[in-house]
């Protein structure tokens, strides 16, 4: 009966060669349960093994070792197809690869008896070409050199601004962030043997409101401004924060915020300075004219750089978002009975409680 072949790392091979020097090789191989011819081959390749270790490849097998793919030309063609689709930002699924592989195999005169594009083949193909199934990212990612380039350009721009004409209290950083109304995490510590884990739902788990946060550069926070879903185009003050309804609550309501919030915040006759991201609404000509009429200048953080340069993203939003779920969870737990049923209707009362929690989490 044949035994399964073992795979040895470069580091292990190099160590065996060094340990076998000056001893009886036959006895050494018997003791280590290694094939004599294999160890002799490792000895012959010792310089190459040392080179691989120096290059940091001590965990890898020798280049070219192992079983070679049976249909290398076909796989190269599949790889080019995948690269082309991803270059156009098109989705590539496992099933898509298998379908394309079977269709392309015919062009290479490979029968379906020889090649079935099985899941096992696909796993190995992805591994060979360093591919994997990835979740799409929502953040705009930049290469390191582009980050440096934009950061330097932004610094040159900022260095050219005369900040002496602004009071610290008249310089305001603003950002928008989503506030989810549910409990957030649906995980909990529970007994291992349990097959059913119950976490009650508020009915608002996927609902959210847009929260506009702002802070004076002298450190004073501005009251939060919430945008909820609704048809009333009227700003109300609820539990210490400002609330406006919008049919699309996720849309930017920057104009309303600037028009309503900024004038009372700016002190004296000095000009104001607004620091925010480069969203399309902020870059619009109407917005620029709107701010100019109110003697408000703006600094826009370059696209993809808010995680590095925007004050609220760097130091304030995360603590706020970390604290808010604790406030919401505490509110939920205080209104539960022993039967895990809620005591009231999750409607206006719950939304009002979210307003209070936003205020407490921010201020």
Query: Looking at residue 91, which CATH number applies to its domain?
Result: 1.10.10.60
pLDDT digits (tens, 9 = 90+) for 35-46: 888 888 888 888
Q: Decide: helix, strand or coil at residue 181.
A: coil
Question: Angle CA(211)–CA(215)–CA(219) in degrees, nearest 5?
Answer: 145
pLDDT value for 347: 44
With cut-offs at 50, 70 and 90, classify the pLDDT of residue 346: very low
Same domain, 104 and 165: no
Determine the Cα–Cα distance for residues 54 and 72; give it in Å rounded to an integer. Answer: 30
Whether pLDDT at 98 is above 90: yes
pLDDT value for 337: 39
Query: What letter does residue 135 receive in the DSSP assignment?
Result: P
Q: What average pLDDT does the segment 304-312 reach? A: 81
The count of other CB atoms within 10 Å of the CB of residue 239 is 14
Q: Residue 94 domain-assigned? A: yes
Q: Decide: helix, strand or coil at residue 96.
A: helix
Whether pLDDT at 172 is above 60: yes
CA atoms within 13 A on the CB side of 316: 23
Q: Residue 136 domain-assigned? A: no
pLDDT value for 187: 63
Smallest CA-to-CA distance from 359 within 184, 219, 235, 239 is with: 239
Same domain, 319 and 228: yes
Q: Residue 17 domain-assigned? A: yes
Q: Residue 4 domain-assigned? A: no
Q: Residue 195 domain-assigned? A: no
- Is the Cα dihedral 88, 89, 90, 94 positive or negative? positive
Same domain, 165 and 235: yes
Q: What is the mean pLDDT of the chain?
A: 76
Whether pLDDT at 354 is above 70: no
Question: Angle CA(163)–CA(146)–CA(252) in degrees, nearest 5?
Answer: 60
**Would the pTM of this model clear 0.75, i.e. be above it?**
no
Q: Determine the structural domain holding residue 98 and report its residue range.
A: 72-129
Q: 200 near 340, Cβ under 8 Å?
A: yes
Count up the domains in the chain and report the number: 3
């Amino acid at each position: 009966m044949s035994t399964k072949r073992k795979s040895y790392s470069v580091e292990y091979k190099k160590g065996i060669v060094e340990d076998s020097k000056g001893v009886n090789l036959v006895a050494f191989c018997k003791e280590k349960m290694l094939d004599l011819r294999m160890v002799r081959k490792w000895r012959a390749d010792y310089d190459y093994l040392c080179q691989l270790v120096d290059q940091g490849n001590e965990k890898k097998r020798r280049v070219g070792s192992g079983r070679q793919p049976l249909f290398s030309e076909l796989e190269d063609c599949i790889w080019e197809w995948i690269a082309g689709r991803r270059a156009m930002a098109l989705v590539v699924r496992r099933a898509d690869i298998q379908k394309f592989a079977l269709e392309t195999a015919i062009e290479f005169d490979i029968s379906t008896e020889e090649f079935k594009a099985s899941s096992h083949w696909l796993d190995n193909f992805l591994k060979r070409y360093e591919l994997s199934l990835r979740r799409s990212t929502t953040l705009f990612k930049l290469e390191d050199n582009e980050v440096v380039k934009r950061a330097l350009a932004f610094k040159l721009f900022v260095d050219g601004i005369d900040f002496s004409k602004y009071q610290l209290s008249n310089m305001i950083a603003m950002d928008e962030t989503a506030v989810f109304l549910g409990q957030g995490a649906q995980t909990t510590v529970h007994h291992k043997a349990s097959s059913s884990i119950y976490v009650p739902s508020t009915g608002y788990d996927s609902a959210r409101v847009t929260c506009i946060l702002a802070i004076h550069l002298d450190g004073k926070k501005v009251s939060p401004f919430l945008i909820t879903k609704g048809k009333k185009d009227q700003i109300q003050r609820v539990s210490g924060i400002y609330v406006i309804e919008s049919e699309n609550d996720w849309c930017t309501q920057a104009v309303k915020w600037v028009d309503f919030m900024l004038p009372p915040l700016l002190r004296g006759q000095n000009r104001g300075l607004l620091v925010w991201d480069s969203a399309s609404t902020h870059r619009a000509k109407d917005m620029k004219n709107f701010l100019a009429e109110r003697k408000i200048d703006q600094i826009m953080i370059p696209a993809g750089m808010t995680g590095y340069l925007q004050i609220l993203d760097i130091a304030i939003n995360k603590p706020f978002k970390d604290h808010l779920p604790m406030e919401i969870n505490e509110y939920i737990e205080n209104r539960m009975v022993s039967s895990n049923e809620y005591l009231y209707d999750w409607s206006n009362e719950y939304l009002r409680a979210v307003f209070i929690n936003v205020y407490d989490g921010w201020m």
